Structure 1
Amino acid sequence: MELLTSLACCALVMTGLWLWQIRSKRADWVDAAWAVLIGLQAIGFAVVGDGAVEKKLLGALLAVTWSSRLAAHLIQRLSGHEGEDGRYQTMREHFGAKANPFFFLFFMVQALVAWLFALPAWVVVNDPSAAVDVWLIAGVAVWFISLAGESLADRQLVAFKADPASKGKVCRVGLWRYSRHPNYFFEWLHWFSYPLVAVGAPNQWVAWLGPVVMLIFLYRVSGIPYTERQSLKSRGEAYREYQRTTSPFIPWPPRN
């Protein structure tokens, strides 16, 4: 029952946000709302879950820390924009008069995806085992590495964009030298922490939805395709050269 209630709440929130974007032309706030919804659902699942207290706390911790960090970063970035983020401008331009119907479908998909991404936390908080084993330690280690990597990538990009000398250039600083989207890579890596922590738990297979669905979205839906289209539009040949020499996702030494 809590799963259906959670899904309905996600759809309601996204419907309200879609109505607001019709007037504001700021569909980009769906990213922050998506991140917040995952953390809130994890808290709700932990409150009503039937798992061991230790797993309830751990499941909520994994999801809420990731959700809070990402939401805070997105809110800060979006608040500094006078207009809509370029990725969503590209979508709006592409669909033209059909933009609002498209965004309604997009927002409903985001509601569904926010619900799907909360399910790994649901698996963890309903795990009756309080045992500390090698899988739990590995899951926490993956969570820590991914959170640190994504935070570092975001800070490096923010610092690069804040430098007036960087205008029109491509960020090749730090992690961005080895991947065109290191923030996306570490975001994807984060979702492996749940199936590792949930090894042996009831419905463990559900926890694998996180990394699988996230990879599909980053590579085929709302992540890399629209981001790179906007980067090519704004940086032209400099970004094409970046594409030729730098790994699109997994950090790897650049090609000559």
Structure 2
Amino acid sequence: MLWFLSLFVLGVMTVVMLAAWAFGLARKNGGWTDVFWTFGTGAALAAAALWPLGPGAMPQARQWLVAGLVALWAIRLGGYIAPRVAHHEDPRYARFRAEWGGDYARNMLFVVLPQGPASALLSLSVLVAARAPGPALGLRDLAGVVILLAAIAGEGLADAQMKRFKADPANRGKVAETGLWGWSRHPNYFFEWFGWLAYPVIGLDPARPLTWLSFVAPAVMLLLLTKVSGIPPLEEAQLASKGEAYRDYQRRVSAFIPLPPKTA
């Protein structure tokens, strides 16, 4: 059933991402890709988490809990991204549009479609947690809730600190080093990754080998955020716009995990 539900998520997200591609082309704004992915992934994973454990069975408390955690993540992240996308295109997609010219529509398919399989991989962790045996909720479920809430709070704080920094005209062209940004160059990404640890905390049972799949989502998110679509393109853009000031920031401040900054 785990693999069937993962394929279900893949199918749903393939349709969602094709819709995102078409909508982004129509609106001339590739940033809608991220909005569709976030809300689509949240809905697909929540639906998969609530899938009956057997014929005629009703969703159990843990299934509702896990579905709620996924929904909370999607609402928080999607609610943050959507208003920004509605006002202006994300610089990453604007750069794609400028670089690809007439090939933009075709090339965007290769950006959009792989996000469906990414959602399917994330679903493995969610499904292991949702389908963990035991009718009663316990301390591990509570720990998972605490982890996700802490991640949402941390990411929200980082976003708010950056928004406040950018709103001050005196900071134009400067590097943000206030609050969490003085301890991590990407605290929002760190907390985004941290939240996915809730699912192995809820679902891992070392005696059941299949439950080690609960670590797939944290591993996938770590790879994407630190090596693919998160930190690398953003730091490239920061270096291009801020130059030596950002290189100095890189030398002193941790890229991902919040740590005390190095002294000169």
TM-score (norm 2): 0.88
Are the aligned partners of 2:16 and 2:37 in contact in 1 as well (CA < 8 Å)?
A: no
The answer on 1:215 being equivalent to 2:222 is yes
Residue 252 in 1 paired to residue 255 in 2? no
**Matching residue of 2:210:** 203
Compared with structure 1, are the counterparts of its residues 41 and 202 closer, same or farther at alpha carbon in structure 2 (3 Å cutoff)? Answer: farther
Q: How does 1:106-125 map to 2 (within 5 A)?
A: 106-125=111-130
Letter in 1 for 2:152: L
Corresponding residue of 1:36: 39
Compute the displacement of 1:23 (Å). Answer: 4.1
CA distance in 2, matches of 1:15, 1:114: 14
- Alignment match, 1:22: 25
Write the letter of the residue equivalent to 2:148: W
1:139 is the counterpart of 2:137: no
Q: d(CA) in 2 for partners of 1:94 and 1:253?
A: 38
Quick check: 43-52 or 190-199, which moved more?
43-52
Q: Distance in 2 between matches of 1:118 and 1:166?
A: 40
Q: Deviations over 1:12-32 (max 9, x none)?
A: 111122123334331122112
For 2:171 and 2:35, how far apart are their aligned partners in 1?
A: 26
8 Å contact from structure 2 (residues 125, 215) kept in 1: yes
Q: Does 1:230 align with 2:233?
A: no
SS in 2 for 1:170: coil
Q: Which amino acid aligns with 2:109?
A: F
Question: CA-atom RMSD, angstroms?
Answer: 2.1
What corresponds to 2:105 in structure 1?
100
Distance 2:215 2:131 in 1: 16
Shift of 1:10: 0.7
The aligned counterpart of 2:93 is: 88
Query: How many Å separate the matches in 1 of 2:248 and 2:105?
Result: 35
Q: How far apart, CA to CA, are the structure 1 residues paired with 2:147 and 2:232?
A: 26
SS state of the match for residue 27, structure 1? coil
Percent identical pairs in the alignment equals: 38
Structure 2 match to 1:176: 181
Of 41, 47, 52, the residue aligned with 2:50 is 47
Shift of 1:9: 1.6
In the TM superposition, what whole-angstrom CA distance separates every residue of 1:156-180 from its partner, at most 9, and x where no partner exists? Answer: 1111112222211111111001000
Equivalent in the alignment of 2:69: 62
Q: Give the residue type in structure 1 aligned to 2:28.
A: K
| Structure 1 runs not aligned, ≥5 long | none
Which amino acid is the alignment partner of residue 143 of structure 1?
L
Q: Which amino acid aligns with 1:44?
A: A
